[in-house]
Amino acid sequence: MNIIEIKLTGLVAGIVLLCGSFGAFSVENPNDTPAVNKDQVNGRVEETKGAVKEITGKVLDDKGMEIEGNIQKNLGKAQAGYGDIKQDIKEGK
């Protein structure tokens, strides 16, 4: 296996792991589906896109892409956290 195949394998594995993390938000009973707001959804999407971009930057040795992905990931975390707080206030927690 050459270095490119190893890097591509790592990239694919990272993407699969990130996409698989969406299963953590699934609910077995559709009647118990919690309400989510746009900030929660958009934040988690941006967080995932940033993580993929960060991993791609590491695999391709592109520091600019890696930094951009890290920033996008952290902004997504902040937006999702803001959405979580809004949801907690709405639910009275």
Query: Mind listing the pLDDT tens digit for each residue in 25-74?
Result: 555 555 565 678 899 999 999 999 999 999 999 999 999 999 999 999 99
Instruction: Specify if 30 maps to a domain.
Output: no
Is 73 exposed, middle or buried (CB count within 10 Å of its CB: 0-12, 13-18, 19+)?
Answer: buried
Instruction: Specify if 48 maps to a domain.
Output: yes
> What's the pTM value of the predicted model, to 2 decimals?
0.65
Per the structure block, which two tokens stand in for 23?
Answer: 């299963």
Q: pLDDT at position 92, please?
A: 85
Q: How many domains does the chain have?
A: 1
Q: What is the DSSP letter of 92?
A: T
Instruction: Specify if 44 maps to a domain.
Output: yes
Instruction: Specify if 59 maps to a domain.
Output: yes
pLDDT classification of 91: cutoffs 50, 70, 90? confident
User: Which residues span the domain enclosing 87?
Assistant: 3-25+35-91
